[in-house]
Chains A and B, each alone.
Chain A
């Protein structure tokens, strides 16, 4: 009995997640952002003679992936943040929120569907971005590369850096505009991403609040002259990303007028 009940809870959340993804992937603006980030990435890191002469480590796939992770992915995520910011207000605007509230659906199912939808969407876009650019790199490289030499750092980048970064961007972008003024949210987002973009890699421990260029990215590739990993800084980075995501979700859940009052 309890299991059936639990199963149906997950199922309703799953339905919302599925349609959140369907609607997001159908938006032309999403693909404009994706295309712009791909273009930027290829201009900077395509294995052309010019770029190979400019970037000493470009022949290493792990370097390639860590390079695009720390900058080009940031551009992608910044765009997605804006596109995800309206995922709660769209339900108010279109009247669909009334349907959800009149349906046998709980506040937690609704919030979870929206949040997890935002996370999956961000994660899938980020993975698609990394895999696509890596494929171009692999096909165009004027030197021989083994598939495994490309796939290993790619998978690592998706899991080690991609997961926490997507969780952060997905949850925060969906939840915070629901609990604060959306203009304030955009300002905070712009400041955070601006600070991120301004932080170029250095040998020092990186600030914990970096989304894609913190010490997490050192787990994919390290400069041979500074091959250390500062584990405290890595953990601080992970905790910042996942902790902020969790806090945003809690704020959304305790917001009283998100849902029908009582029962």
Chain B
């Protein structure tokens, strides 16, 4: 089995008492793997542990068979990382910045820098100062520095957040192209659509706990036959609903409110069952419409 990343029983408690990860275990194969979760779910914490810049309170992570705690140097040779908040040096040119980061990885071949810029379609802006780039272009430079040296594992933390739809599509194609040939791209996001388009496999974190890990299809099976449609008369009925079922979608119409729910507990035996969609599965997975 080619499981490039093996995470077992990882917990992280910060000094301020926040438990960001709570006994998380799953494995990641080749291809694009989605890490889904709301803000504060622990995605960034898990990724930092994976790229060895943060030590978990307990548990182990193996990357390409190497332990992140004991063989950190070996792990770092095999990963590229795009942090969630990367401002970079505004006064450096695009080429200089990527060349600098390449240098810290021991890569001195300038053609590699140009290749990386080409892969993210930034070669024509190589001489432009980073301070003069749009948000989407900066993100592309961030990806370029991560994939220089062609690491086996690419870890990208919310690369599509705040991008316009066109940039998002471009990003997805760059990542899926990179993931071919046995490489792994671990992508965190809170945008369901990213995962939907890109990932065969995914994991969902909810408040530090692993909620689901596995094939995207597996999620469908969880919701199949449990999605129901209710018609409510007013807001008051809606208010109490999310305690009994996971609300997936609400539509306000003239004669009332139509609500799609995921009836996990079987509280709505009489309601009409409808065909589940992938969207239903993801929204359920993320904790429903009212989950924060």
Contact = CB atoms under 8 A, between A and B. Distances in A.
A148 interface: no
A100 interface: yes
A102 B51 contact: yes
A12 B104 contact: yes
A262 B92 contact: no
B87 A94 contact: yes
A101 B70 contact: no
A36 interface: no
Contacts of B101: 99, 103
A23 B90 CA distance: 10
Nearest to B105: A103
B39 interface: no
B86 A95 contact: yes
B87 A95 contact: yes
Nearest to B146: A99
B52 A104 contact: no
Interface residues of B, number: 33
Nearest to B76: A104
Given A99-B81, A260-B53, A263-B73, A22 B96 contact: yes
Interface in B53-111: 53-55, 68-73, 76-77, 79, 81, 83, 85-89, 91-92, 96, 100-101, 103-106, 108
Contacts of A104: 73, 76-77, 104-106
B53 A101 contact: yes
A101 B105 CA distance: 11
B12 to A, nearest CB: 12
B145 interface: yes
Interface in A92-137: 93-96, 98-105
Contacts of B104: 12, 15-16, 99-100, 103-105
Contacts of A8: 106
Contact of B79 (A15, A90, A100, A102): A102
Contacts of A260: 52-55, 72
A99 B55 contact: no
Interface residues of A, number: 28
A261 interface: yes
B106 A95 contact: no
A95 B85 contact: yes
A47 to B, nearest CB: 38
B79 A263 contact: no
A94 B101 CA distance: 14
A224 interface: no
A98 B48 CA distance: 9
A262 B69 contact: yes
18 contacts: A12-B104, A15-B103, A15-B104, A16-B103, A18-B103, A90-B89, A95-B85, A96-B87, A96-B88, A98-B83, A99-B101, A99-B145, A100-B104, A102-B53, A103-B104, A104-B104, A105-B76, A260-B52
Given A19-B103, A94-B89, 20 more contacts: A11-B103, A15-B100, A16-B104, A18-B103, A19-B92, A23-B91, A26-B91, A95-B86, A98-B53, A98-B83, A99-B81, A101-B52, A102-B53, A103-B101, A103-B104, A103-B105, A261-B54, A262-B55, A262-B69, A263-B73
Give 3 nearest A-B pairs by CB, closest first.
A263-B72, A15-B103, A102-B81
Interface of B: 48, 51-55, 68-73, 76-77, 79, 81, 83, 85-89, 91-92, 96, 100-101, 103-106, 108, 145
Interface of A: 8, 11-12, 15-16, 18-19, 22-23, 26-27, 90, 93-96, 98-105, 260-263
